[in-house]
């Protein structure tokens, strides 16, 4: 094998997932210069260009895409082998207290945690489902799964779904019985379903189409501090919701909701696995993260089949 450093592969995979050298370096507690040197060394060893670099992002070449498909299972296998050697008897155990969003946790993540415990039955999980942001420094929480850039720069943020964004959705009945939504500005003619976190009402919805940006202050007659309630209102035809695309993927696939204005992308909503200190990123946590990343990657791969998600 020509590749001399496994760390180079890990950096390559992280940059491919995040599309940014700086973001990848930050997530791995490295300097951008170190990450850049690693990629250049990897490309030199392979004698292949893995990325097309622009001033804003890094995009995989066709060679890079093929190499990424091989690297992911290789690194996952190495991680499991490392854990087996560390544990001595291949038994992975311990307690994990996890906080996660109520809707995503209840409808998507819980079954993946079930799979994880079947594979590692000596692990004990304590799950807290709430849309309120858990304080991993003060609360009895080991890990938190949350949308958006972490508010505290001291947190360790491990990306789970870095390329995720919000979409407009409504039920087929609502779409059929109301004026068409051709542009986000048309939202002022519709009943919008609001989510509220604490004292913050999220009624300013932002969109982008290429280089064009648009923001609209929407109106509506229903507000909830539980994201699952907002989604259910939309399914029942009470209005339009503005949700993370992975939250509504199953509803789109089942025909309970439809994507509106698909050419306009809503605000970014990257999903992270957060912890207070890098020392908490134990082999068990890394295995859980790898399991969730794999499941989310498979889940996201089906989004384009569920509707106009890409």
Of the pLDDT bands very low, low, confident and very high (cuts 50, 70, 90), residue 191 is very high
Q: Is 90 exceeded by the pLDDT of residue 57?
A: no
Mean pLDDT, range 15-23, rounded to an integer: 84
Could you tell me if 167 and 231 are in contact, meaning their C-beta atoms sit under 8 angstroms apart? no
Given this model, what pLDDT does residue 203 score? 92
Q: What is the pLDDT of residues 195-221, one digit of tens each?
A: 988 788 889 999 999 889 999 999 999
Q: Alpha-carbon dihedral of residues 92, 93, 97, 102, nearest 10 degrees? A: 50
Q: Is 80 exceeded by the pLDDT of residue 90?
A: no
Which of 229 and 87 is assigned the larger pLDDT? 229
Q: Is 90 exceeded by the pLDDT of residue 20?
A: no
Could you tell me if 73 and 215 are in contact, meaning their C-beta atoms sit under 8 angstroms apart? no
Given this model, what pLDDT does residue 266 score? 94
CA 97/CA 229 separation, integer angstroms: 25
Instruction: State the chain's mean pLDDT as an integer.
Output: 83
The H or E element containing residue 82 is: helix 62-87
Q: According to the per-residue pLDDT averaged within each range, which of 108-117, 135-144, 275-284 is highest?
A: 108-117
Q: Is 80 exceeded by the pLDDT of residue 161?
A: yes
CA 245/CA 121 separation, integer angstroms: 32
Of the pLDDT bands very low, low, confident and very high (cuts 50, 70, 90), residue 136 is very low
Pairing of the two strands 271-275 and 156-161 = antiparallel
Given this model, what pLDDT does residue 306 score? 47
Tokens read off for 228: 């699952």
Residue with tokens 């009895």: 140
Tokens read off for 232: 């259910």
Would you put residue 131 in left (φ > 0), alpha (ψ -120 to 50) or beta? alpha
Q: Kindly provide the b/e burial profile for residues 212-232, where b requires at least 16 CB atoms within 10 angstroms of the residue's own CB.
A: eeeebebebeeebbebbbbbb
Given this model, what pLDDT does residue 159 score? 85
Cα Rg, the chain, nearest whole Å: 21
Given this model, what pLDDT does residue 89 score? 47
Three-state DSSP class for 103?
A: helix
Q: Is 50 exceeded by the pLDDT of residue 307?
A: no
Pairing of the two strands 156-161 and 94-100 = unpaired
Q: Is 70 exceeded by the pLDDT of residue 91?
A: no
Q: Is 70 exceeded by the pLDDT of residue 270?
A: yes
Give percent above pLDDT 70 in the chain.
83
Which of 200 and 135 is assigned the larger pLDDT? 200
Give percent above pLDDT 90 in the chain.
36
Mean pLDDT, range 30-51, rounded to an integer: 88
Tokens read off for 157: 């943020």
Which of 173 and 27 is assigned the larger pLDDT? 173
Phi then psi dihedrals of residue 119, to 5 deg: -75, -35
CA 37/CA 7 separation, integer angstroms: 12
Q: What is the pLDDT of residues 162-172, one digit of tens each?
A: 889 999 999 99
Given this model, what pLDDT does residue 230 score? 94
């Amino acid at each position: 094998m020509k590749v001399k450093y496994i760390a180079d592969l890990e950096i390559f995979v992280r940059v491919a997932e995040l599309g940014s050298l700086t973001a990848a370096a930050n997530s791995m507690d490295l300097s951008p210069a170190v990450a850049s040197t690693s990629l250049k060394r990897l490309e030199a060893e392979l004698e292949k260009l893995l990325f097309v670099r622009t001033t804003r992002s890094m995009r995989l070449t066709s060679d890079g895409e093929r190499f990424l498909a091989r690297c992911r299972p290789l690194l996952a296998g190495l991680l499991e082998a490392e854990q087996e050697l560390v544990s001595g008897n291949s038994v992975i155990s311990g307690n994990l207290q996890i906080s996660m969003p109520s809707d995503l946790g209840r409808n998507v993540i819980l079954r993946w945690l079930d799979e994880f415990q079947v594979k590692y039955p000596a692990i004990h999980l304590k799950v807290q489902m709430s849309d309120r942001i858990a304080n991993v420094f003060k609360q009895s929480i080991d890990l938190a799964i949350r949308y958006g850039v972490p508010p505290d720069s001291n947190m360790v943020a491990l990306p789970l779904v870095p390329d995720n964004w919000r979409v407009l959705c409504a039920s087929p009945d609502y779409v059929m019985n109301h004026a068409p939504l051709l542009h986000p500005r048309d939202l002022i003619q519709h009943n919008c379903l609001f989510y509220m976190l604490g004292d913050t009402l999220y009624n300013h919805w932002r969109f982008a189409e290429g280089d064009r940006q648009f923001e609209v202050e929407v109106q509506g007659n229903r507000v909830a501090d539980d994201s699952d309630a907002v989604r259910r209102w939309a399914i029942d035809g009470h209005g339009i919701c503005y949700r993370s695309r992975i939250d509504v993927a199953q509803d789109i696939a089942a025909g309970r909701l439809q994507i509106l204005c698909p050419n306009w992308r809503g605000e970014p909503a990257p999903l992270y696995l957060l912890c207070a200190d890098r020392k908490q990123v134990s082999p068990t946590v890394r295995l859980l993260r790898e399991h969730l990343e794999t499941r989310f990657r498979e889940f996201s791969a089906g989004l384009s089949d569920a509707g106009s998600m890409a």
